[in-house]
């Protein structure tokens, strides 16, 4: 049996049927009909209004990363839609499933420079998996279902649906009983012969795990596979949380600011097994020298476009990495492998001084801040960062133990990402969120503190205040002869008063004792709070492999 519904009603019903019971957005003239339907369905779907559409997009992104579900964001036409672009691009570069629904002017007004009209489909085409403009209400139900399949299927990513105002108001017969098909299991037969041959011939295999391991929920298979072949595990920034930090064979993040042991293992292995990773320039450094003499590369990825894109693979398997690893383990083709001598060697690197750099003896070292936060709040919190030095310090020192506990902008490097992402992750996971940010990044989207307070989000913001754009300053110091152009901020913001003005709790810490006291007070609060941590402007992120460098060029202090 079918009923007549408006396009706006179909949108809300289809969101509910897709399991999107928590969504984010900001109302406006071109989506008033959608928001009216959300009001009528408020007992079945919860909408979170943010302070800005960019914050809403990042919140939907953080929700998706924390839960594995598809995030949903809604915005009006014109500036509402364009304010989503940074969030959509962030999700696209990090393979996050997202459905963005924008309103537009009525179809008769499109192309006439109407008030708040913009071609958002054309604007977002390069940064979406697919996008639509729905000009006929009869196509709306199918389009929404397709959008969710595309967003979450294969390599995930964002999909945009633009719905003109007259389409939202038009009515059509709606059959809610039609099945809602999300992506099913991939039953393709995998050809593993070449992969098994390479692995069996290797004497020094090393695993390089990327975000694809987390997306495919393959952490357990990753651990088993590593044990079968006696291989250490390293990770990209996006691959952190794929393996518990304290596992014996996990060496940490590799790459420009990775742990010495991890980068050394990648440099000295004879077979690099890349799992769900794109080999970005920050991970590889000098691509010609990255391969190394005699080193082979085996790549597992669901996206064929990633094969040989940045680094040439000697063999590859296309498919879901969870299935690939499961099939390799079950195949029996890897039985009898013994590379324990190599594994013991790389594990021993974790104890050497180069892997455990002495950090500053200043009153409040960043390493102490991050390790103390982990000690106080434990492994169960979800952690978000903005972008810069604090992002790398968090990646190096937090010690993530559970998948989907780390939200960070890896591909686009979006300053201002963290506030929205922390809010979305807290809502999706039901856990306390920690946001590690800086005075530079925090100023970009500090307005979302209003969102956290309004929705009573259990959020603790740890703000590194070094009066500088720290990472850019570090590059200026190392590569631009200390010409600090526009990186000393000299802002007069009183962060404690600012937090209190938004309705949050504020603390300030300039030494270890004040930090520990503030962290323990924050732990007792179930409301948003901010801890300003005053650090030295000359704190640097080490190790560092310079751009286009190798492990031989690594800077340790």
- Which fold is adopted by the domain 3-174? Rossmann fold (3.40.50)
Residue 112 has a pLDDT of: 83
Helix/strand/coil for 533: strand
Provide φ and ψ at 530, rounded to 5°. Answer: -130, 135
Sorted by where each begins, the domain ranges of the chain are 3-174, 193-355, 366-534
343 within 8 A of 232, measured Cβ to Cβ: yes
Catalytic residues: 53, 115-116, 165, 471
* Structural element, H or E, at residue 391: helix 389-397
Provide φ and ψ at 483, rounded to 5°. Answer: -90, 95
148 within 8 A of 126, measured Cβ to Cβ: no
Q: What is the pTM of this model?
A: 0.95
Residue 188 has a pLDDT of: 59
1, two tokens = 């049996």
Quickly count helices (H) and strands (E) in the chain: 24, 20
61 within 8 A of 412, measured Cβ to Cβ: no
Half-sphere exposure of 389 (CA within 13 A, CB side): 28
Point out which residues pair with 300 in neighbouring strands. Answer: 275, 317
Q: Give CATH for domain 366-534.
A: 3.40.50.970
Residue 8 has a pLDDT of: 98
Residue 116 has a pLDDT of: 84
Distance between CA atoms of 328 and 51, rounded to whole angstroms? 48
* Structural element, H or E, at residue 531: strand 529-534
Are 3-174 and 366-534 the same fold in CATH? Answer: yes
Q: What's the full length of the chain, in residues?
A: 557
545, two tokens = 């492999």
Residue 180 has a pLDDT of: 63
Q: Distance of alpha carbon 215 from its chain centroid, rounded?
A: 10
Residue 543: is the preceding peptide bond cis (ω within 30°)?
yes
544 within 8 A of 256, measured Cβ to Cβ: yes
Distance between CA atoms of 51 and 532, rounded to whole angstroms? 22
Distance between CA atoms of 325 and 327, rounded to whole angstroms? 5
| 490: number of Cβ within 10 Å | 6
Can you spell out the DSSP letters for 36-89? Answer: HHHHHTTTT-EEEE-SSHHHHHHHHHHHHHHHSSPEEEEE-STHHHHTTHHHHH
Q: Write down the residue that tokens 């809403």 correspond to.
A: 56
Distance between CA atoms of 368 and 358, rounded to whole angstroms? 12
348 within 8 A of 399, measured Cβ to Cβ: no
Helix/strand/coil for 337: coil
Distance between CA atoms of 430 and 381, rounded to whole angstroms? 10
378-405: b (≥16 Cβ within 10 Å) or e: eeebbbbbbbbbbbbbbbbbbebbebbb
Closest alpha carbon to 427 in 408, 454, 401, 391? 454
Distance between CA atoms of 308 and 317, rounded to whole angstroms? 12
179, two tokens = 């099945």
Q: Distance of alpha carbon 111 from its chain centroid, rounded?
A: 36
What is the per-residue pLDDT across 18-52, written as a single tens digit (0 to 9) for each? 999 999 999 999 999 999 999 999 999 999 999 99
Residue 488 has a pLDDT of: 94
453 within 8 A of 526, measured Cβ to Cβ: no
Q: Distance of alpha carbon 390 from its chain centroid, rounded?
A: 15
232 within 8 A of 347, measured Cβ to Cβ: yes
Residue 2 has a pLDDT of: 65
Distance between CA atoms of 120 and 127, rounded to whole angstroms? 11
Distance between CA atoms of 103 and 175, rounded to whole angstroms? 23
Closest alpha carbon to 543 in 532, 555, 533? 555
526, two tokens = 């179930």
Residue 528 has a pLDDT of: 97
Closest alpha carbon to 50 in 495, 433, 421, 441? 421
Closest alpha carbon to 22 in 455, 383, 325? 455
| 175: number of Cβ within 10 Å | 10
* Structural element, H or E, at residue 107: none
What parts of the chain have a pLDDT lower than 50?
Answer: 1
Look up the CATH architecture of domain 193-355: 3-Layer(aba) Sandwich (3.40)
What is the per-residue pLDDT across 57-76, written as a single tens digit (0 to 9) for each? 999 999 999 999 999 999 99
Q: Write down the residue that tokens 């692995």 correspond to.
A: 199
Residue 1 has a pLDDT of: 46
Distance between CA atoms of 466 and 219, rounded to whole angstroms? 36
């Amino acid at each position: 049996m079918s009923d007549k519904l408006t396009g706006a009603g179909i949108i809300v019903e289809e969101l509910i049927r897709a399991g999107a019971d928590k969504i984010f957005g900001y109302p406006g003239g071109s989506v008033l009909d959608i928001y009216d339907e959300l009001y009528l369905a408020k007992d079945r779907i919860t909408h979170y209004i943010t302070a800005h559409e960019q914050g809403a997009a990042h919140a939907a992104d953080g929700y998706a990363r924390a839960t594995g579900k598809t995030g949903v964001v809604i915005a009006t036409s014109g500036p509402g839609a364009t304010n989503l672009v940074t969030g959509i691009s962030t999700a696209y570069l990090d393979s996050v499933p997202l459905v963005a629904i924008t309103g537009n002017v009525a179809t008769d007004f499109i192309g006439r420079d109407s008030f708040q009209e913009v071609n958002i489909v054309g604007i977002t085409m390069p940064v979406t998996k697919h996008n639509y403009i729905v000009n006929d209400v009869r196509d709306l139900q199918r389009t929404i279902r397709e959008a969710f399949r595309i967003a979450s299927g294969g390599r995930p990513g964002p999909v945009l649906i633009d719905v003109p105002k007259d389409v939202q108001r038009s009515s059509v017969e709606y059959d809610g009983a039609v099945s809602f098909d999300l992506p099913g299991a991939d039953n393709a037969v995998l050809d593993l012969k070449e992969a098994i041959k390479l692995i069996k011939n290797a004497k020094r295999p090393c695993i390089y795990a990327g975000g694809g391991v987390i997306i495919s929920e393959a952490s357990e298979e990753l651990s088993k596979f590593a044990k079968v072949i006696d291989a250490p595990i390293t990770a990209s920034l996006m691959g952190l949380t794929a393996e518990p930090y304290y596992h014996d064979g996990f060496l940490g993040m590799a790459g420009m600011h990775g742990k010495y042991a991890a980068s050394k293992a990648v440099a000295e292995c004879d077979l690099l097994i890349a799992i769900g990773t794109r080999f970005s320039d920050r991970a590889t450094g000098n691509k010609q020298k990255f391969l190394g003499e005699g080193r082979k590369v085996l790549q597992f990825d669901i996206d064929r476009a990633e094969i040989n894109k940045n680094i040439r693979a000697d063999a590859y398997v296309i498919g879901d990495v969870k299935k690939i690893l499961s099939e390799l383990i079950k195949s029996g083709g890897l039985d009898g492998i013994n590379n324990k001598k190599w594994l013991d060697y790389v594990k021993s690197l974790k104890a050497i001084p180069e892997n455990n750099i002495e950090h500053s003896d200043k009153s409040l070292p960043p390493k102490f801040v991050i390790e103390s936060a982990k000690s106080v709040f434990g492994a169960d919190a979800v952690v978000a960062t903005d972008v810069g030095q604090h992002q790398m310090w968090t990646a190096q020192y937090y010690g993530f133990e559970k998948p989907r506990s780390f939200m960070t902008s890896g591909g686009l490097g979006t300053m201002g990402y963290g506030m929205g992402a922390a809010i979305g992750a807290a809502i999706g996971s039901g856990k306390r969120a920690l946001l590690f940010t800086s005075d530079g990044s925090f100023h970009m989207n500090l307005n979302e503190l209003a969102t956290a307070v309004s929705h009573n989000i259990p959020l603790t913001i740890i703000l590194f205040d070094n009066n500088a754009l720290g990472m850019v300053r570090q590059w200026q110091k190392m590569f631009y002869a200390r010409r600090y152009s526009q990186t000393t901020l000299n802002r007069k913001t009183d962060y404690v008063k600012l937090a209190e003005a938004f309705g949050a709790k504020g603390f300030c810490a300039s030494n270890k004792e004040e930090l520990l006291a503030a962290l323990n007070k924050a732990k007792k609060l179930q409301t948003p709070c901010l801890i300003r941590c005053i650090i030295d402007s000359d704190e640097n992120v080490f190790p560092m492999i310079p751009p286009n460098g190798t492990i031989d060029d690594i800077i340790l202090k």
